[in-house]
Structure 1
Amino acid sequence: MVVGRAGRTILVPQDESALEALLDAGVTVDSMCHNGLCGICQTGVLSGEVEHRDSFLTDEQHTVNEYMTLCVSHSARGADIVLDL
């Protein structure tokens, strides 16, 4: 995963959310529910395929893939994503 504005690359294990990896790397991200319900951690996706595991975004939003909820979602297996952070 690449933090777009900072240009940092952060590895995200498949058993970890993007939010966990970002926080572990010292990146400050607003979050609240940690269950994919509230949308506080919703972040823009500049490129890449996301494995969506949230209930906040609609099916259409999942398909368009312009946003993701960092607390429960991560890049699709083998894919790199660039976040608008």
Structure 2
Amino acid sequence: MQLARTGTTVTVPRDRRLIEALKDVLPGLSYDCEKGYCGACETRVLAGTPEHRDSILSEDERAAGRSMMICVGRCTSERLVLDL
């Protein structure tokens, strides 16, 4: 995963959640429930295909792939670029 604002590349191992890996490099990251239902961590996706595991986005929003809840989401493409 690449963070567009900082240019940082973050590898997310299969045994870690995306939010856990992001907290390592972005200590001031905004999130709350970490369960995908509050929307506090909604993040814009600039490239790649997110895997949505939240209960907030509509089917149309999920299909558009423009944002994701980084507390529960994953990536189905080889590369994901987030607006962080």
Return the TM-score normalized by structure 2: 0.91
* RMSD (CA atoms): 1.3
Q: How many pairs were matched up?
A: 84
Deviations 1:35-55 (A, max 9, x none): 000000000000001111110
What's the counterpart of residue 61 of structure 2?
61
Query: Counterpart amino acid of 2:14?
Result: Q
Alignment of 1:1-80 (within 5 A): 1-76=1-76, 79-80=78-79
Code of the residue aligned with 1:40 in structure 2: it is: A
Runs of 4+ residues deviating >6 angstroms: none
Percent identical: 39
For structure 1, the residue ranges without an aligned partner over 5 or more in a row are none
- String of CA shifts for 1:6-56, please: whole Å, max 9, x gaps: 000000122322211100234421111100000000000000011111101
Q: Output the TM-score relative to the length of structure 1.
A: 0.90
